[in-house]
Amino acid sequence: MKWKLALADALVLIAISGPIYALALERSYQASLPRSPEPTTGHVIPRNNHGVVVYYSEEEVSGLRYLWMGGALIGIVGGLIHKYDK
């Protein structure tokens, strides 16, 4: 069942890439998003990152959440395949 282990390895790599991309995206958001709320653009959700408060929109927060949670779920599936395919 080598194909299952190859699939598990691929899933783990995908799982690692999600949070890495989320961190890079959050870093770019910190540089480009407003430092004060802007209701006209929807940037009203404050997030503090090492003392810097940046205001996110709901779509930006949801996208980051999906990257983190998706990476975690895919990693769990890959780990379970590794564990039970021996």
**Predicted local distance difference test score (pLDDT) of residue 86:** 66
Look-up of token digits 């783990």: 12
- Coil, helix or strand for 38? strand
Cα separation of 78 and 15, whole Å?
8
The model's pTM: 0.80
Eight-state DSSP code of residue 55: E
**Tens digit of each residue's pLDDT, the chain (86 residues):** 688 888 888 998 999 998 899 999 999 999 999 999 999 999 999 999 889 999 999 999 999 999 999 999 999 998 898 888 76
CA–CA gap between residue 72 and residue 15 (Å, rounded): 6
Give just the sign of the alpha carbon dihedral 23, 70, 18, 33.
negative
